[in-house]
A and B are shown apart, each in its own frame.
Chain A
Amino acid sequence: DAGITQSPRHKVTETGTPVTLRCHQTENHRYMYWYRQDPGHGLRLIHYSYGVKDTDKGEVSDGYSVSRSKTEDFLLTLESATSSQTSVYFCAISAGGMREENYGYTFGSGTRLTVV
C-alpha cells in the first residue's frame, strides 16, 4: 500500500539460515508491527515497536528478533529459520494516539517466506 513497502515479496531459504525481512514506511508513523498469517490462525503478532529502539514481544515471538534504528524502518530477523516459520509475513503501521476516529492500521503487501 502507499506509504509502506515490504521487501522481499517472496523468499525461499534453507533451514538453519538467518533471514531478514524489511518494512519501510514513509508516513512517519510511530508504531510498527510484524504479523504472520497462517491458515486457521488468522494474524498473529510477532513483535511491535512504539518508537526508535523501542520494541516489545507479541504472542509468537520465539525464534524472531526485530530492530528499529530509524523511524521508517522495522526489520524482522529469523535467527535460524525453521520449516514452521514458513508463512506470509505482514508489516503494519499506525499513528497511534487516543483519537479513535483517526485510528487504524495500514498494512504492507506481505512477504511470502518458504523455509525448505
Chain B
Amino acid sequence: GDSVTQMEGPVTLSEEAFLTINCTYTATGYPSLFWYVQYPGEGLQLLLKATKADDKGSNKGFEATYRKETTSFHLEKGSVQVSDSAVYFCALRSMTTDSWGKLQFGAGTQVVVTP
C-alpha cells in the first residue's frame, strides 16, 4: 500500500538557519504530493503541493520538488524564523482502487526554531 516516510524530529535550529525535512514515498502510479503544517494548538494547513514529476511547490519561502526518480519530496527553507516552529507533515494522494484518492500522511516532523 501507499506510504510516506519522514525524518524523525524534533529538528532544532537557530533563526536564519537552512531547513530541510526529508520525505520519501511509496505509491502505485503517479501520486500528488503535499506538505501540511500544524502550528501549536491548531489543525493542519496546506503549505504547498506538487501534482506531477519535476513540479516545484512553493509558499511562504518554503519549497519542495517532486522527484520521481528518488521518490522524494523534501521540504526546504533558506532562512527560518521563530514563527516557523511547527509540525510538518508530508502526504500523498494516489488514485488507486484501494486508496480511493484519500491523503496518506507521514508521521510528522516537529521543527523548533530558537532566537
Docked Cα-Cα span, A81 to B103, in Å, equals 27
Q: B43, B51, B103, B106: which contacts A110 (Cβ < 8 A)?
A: B43
Docked Cα-Cα span, A5 to B101, in Å, equals 23
Q: Which of A70-96 contact B (CB under 8 A)?
A: 90, 92, 96
**B32, A105: Cβ atoms under 8 Å?**
no
Task: Enumerate chain A residues within 8 angstroms of B41, measured Cβ to Cβ.
Answer: 109
Task: Enumerate chain A residues within 8 angstroms of B95, measured Cβ to Cβ.
Answer: 98
Interface residues of B, count at CB 8 A: 21
How many A residues are at the interface, by size bracket? 20 to 34
Q: Mark A96-115 against chain B: 1 for CB-CB distance below 8 A, else 0.
A: 10101101110111100000
Q: A48, A96, A101, A107: which contacts B44 (Cβ < 8 A)?
A: A107
Q: Does residue B42 face the partner (Cβ distance < 8 Å to A)? A: yes
8 nearest CB pairs, A to B: A107-B43, A42-B107, A100-B51, A107-B44, A43-B105, A42-B108, A104-B46, A109-B43
- A interface residues with partner B (beta carbon < 8 Å): 1, 33, 40-43, 45, 48, 90, 92, 96, 98, 100-101, 103-105, 107-110
- B interface residues with partner A (beta carbon < 8 Å): 32, 34, 36, 41-46, 49, 51, 89, 93, 95, 101-103, 105-108
